[in-house]
Amino acid sequence: MKFSANLSMLFTELPLLARFQAARDTGFQAVEMQFPYEAALPELQAARERAGVEVVLINVPAGDLMQGGDGLASVPGREAAFHAAVEQALGYAAGLGVRCVNVLAGRLAEGVARAAAHDTLAANLRHAAERFATIGVKVTCEAINPFDMPRFLLNTSADMLAMLDRVSHPNLAMQVDLYHLARMGEDLPTLLRQHWPQIGHLQFADVPGRGAPGSGELDFQALFGLIAALPYQGWTGAEYKPGMASADSLGWFAAYREPA
């Protein structure tokens, strides 16, 4: 398996630019970030080069979503802001050499019909898929459980698959976060076996607390064994809350890490 460390969740006891080396020192050969835009691109490039890691995933800027707002991608009238966010992400993706860029659907805005939100999201995903295809970067969208993020537009694998069918673009795939789908009660092994070709990126955390593997209910030995046996060639991102110094939460990693 190819594991990446999510620097928005892990090693947060350190400044962002120092997290690249911390990830490498603990055995990760790749990292990902939710929103890298707090740092200038040359600073991120230098941190990546010093650590000798690959950056495999970033998110398109999501407006006010992380502050409790509705975001950009599914809100009618915010298309221009979404297009500007895509252009910002395009520059960072090209400069960092990422494999995938994730679009967060955002919340169903007050007064907006669900059908209109889906129409807006589909058009915006099609636009993003086209733009990132020009630099060979896959676009993904993900489902987020409504317990963690109420009113999020896509909650299940069925929601994601329906959106993929609707957009029907070869440069669009699913980002499957095992934590969010487990919170929705989904059959993760069946999902992985049946739909791995539509998965552009995987992420994980244990359930219900979003901690490291072994802190909750999921059988990660079986899940990681299944992922390793699939033809899936993408990365699997550790996106969990360590609840301690991040390096001390990596007991699960010892059986899987490649030699430095």
Catalytic machinery residues: 142, 239
Q: Are 19 and 10 in contact (CB under 8 A)?
A: yes
Residue 206 Cα distances to 37, 130, 136, angstroms: 28, 34, 32
CA distances from 110 to 28, 79, 148, 175 (A): 42, 17, 18, 26
Q: Distance between CA 46 and CA 245 in Å, rounded?
A: 25
Q: How far apart are CA 197 and CA 173, in angstroms?
A: 9
Give the DSSP H/E element, type plus range, for residue 164: helix 157-167
Q: How far apart are CA 138 and CA 74, in angstroms?
A: 20
- With tokens 């790749």, the residue in question is 30
Q: How far apart are CA 27 and CA 185, in angstroms?
A: 32
Beta bridge mates, 45? none
**Enclosing H/E stretch for 199:** strand 199-204
